[in-house]
Structure 1
Amino acid sequence: MSDFRLDDFLPYLLNNAAESTGRAFAAHYREGYGMSRAQWRIMAHLGVTDRLTASDICLRGYLEKSKVSRAVSGLEEMGLLTRTRSTSDRRAEMLSLTDKGREVYDDLATQAQVFSGKLRDRLGDERADQLAGLLRDLTDPAGD
């Protein structure tokens, strides 16, 4: 019999922590705006960066191209983002938030800061900073 313990397997613990916290925050964008997780993540990236291609969002957010495509269409139908042809690459479309999208992003970003603050309170500042650093280390592709 193996010594393997699922409860000690770091990828399992990371996934469970991400799912638990992600589901807890989902109420804000699902109930408040009828958005999916992918739509919220796209909004978050565009809120910080202003203009990105769908490919950029896939890379930055570790999202599948098909999920991004569906999410972008939904956000466009809701009037939250627009697409314009890239001036540097005619095959690409630049995505950006509309004024309404910016308002929604600002509201959700405020709620995200409050949510994050509650997690920090739960862990304490030192442990929260440590965890954030460790997670960035694991996400950094140079660490492979």
Structure 2
Amino acid sequence: MSRTRPVSLTLDEFLPYRLSVAANVVSQRVARVYVEQYGLSTQEWRLIAVLGEDGDRTQLELVKRTRMEKVPVSRAARALEDKGLVRRTTNESDARSRRLSLTAAGRRIYERVAPAALEAEAEVLADLEPGERAVLRSLLERVERTANRSLKRAP
């Protein structure tokens, strides 16, 4: 009979847990701006941010860009359309899909929230030196690339 050592997982040292906790706390800080002032959910703000930065996109492109599931993207898109912040039109190259674009009101919110979000980010990163910020970004990008490669290889 072979004895196996019990698995010892310390959450505070487990990278996925630490990344999740850090992401949630940072997102909550930034969310104050768009939740309190504009009543937007995190998913709705993500779509506005992508559309504000990238321009018109299909819902599938938004799924890929935000790494959100299809259903939350669809719900957020409908909610934004109901609020008059996004316009959904038939995609000319594929009539089954929808293309989203910001309305003038959606563009105004993006232009107001984006600078406030950047200020919140600066506040969160204030204790890091510029070099440390660059290293953090670089390390996060590398971890993300490695995880993406692993996902593509997985069955």
Map Cα deviations across residues 77-116 of structure 1 (whole Å, 9 max, x no partner). 1110101111211111110000110000011111111112
What residue in structure 2 maps to residue 57 of structure 1? 62
CA distance in 1, matches of 2:24, 2:123: 17
Unaligned runs of 5+ in 1: none
- The residue type equivalent to 2:107 in the other structure is R
RMSD: 1.4
CA contact (8 A) 2:30 2:121 kept: no
Contact 2:84 2:106 in 1 (8 A): yes
| Structure 2 counterparts to residues 1-144 of structure 1, below 5 A | 1-140=6-145, 143-144=149-150
Structure having the higher Rg: 2
| CA deviation profile, 1:64-87 (whole Å, cap 9, x unmatched) | 111111111110111101011112
SS in 1 for 2:16: helix
Answer whether contact 1:137 1:143 (CA < 8 A) is retained: no
Question: Aligned partners of 1:2, 1:78: CA distance in 2, in Å?
Answer: 49
Using the alignment, how far apart are the partners of 2:8 and 2:90 within structure 1? 55
- Kept after mapping to 2: 8 A contact 1:83/1:94: yes
In the alignment of these two chains, the number of paired residues is 144
Q: Secondary structure at the match of 1:82?
A: strand
- CA shift in 2, pair 1:129/1:35, >3 Å: same
User: What is the CA–CA distance in structure 1 between the aligned matches of 2:8 and 2:143, rounded to whole Å?
Assistant: 24
Q: Is the 8 A contact 2:50 2:62 kept in 1?
A: yes
Q: 1:51, CA displacement in angstroms?
A: 0.6
Q: For the Cα contact (< 8 Å) 2:59–2:98, is it kept in 1?
A: yes
- Tell me, in whole angstroms, the C-alpha distance in 1 between the residues paired with 2:80 and 2:48: 9
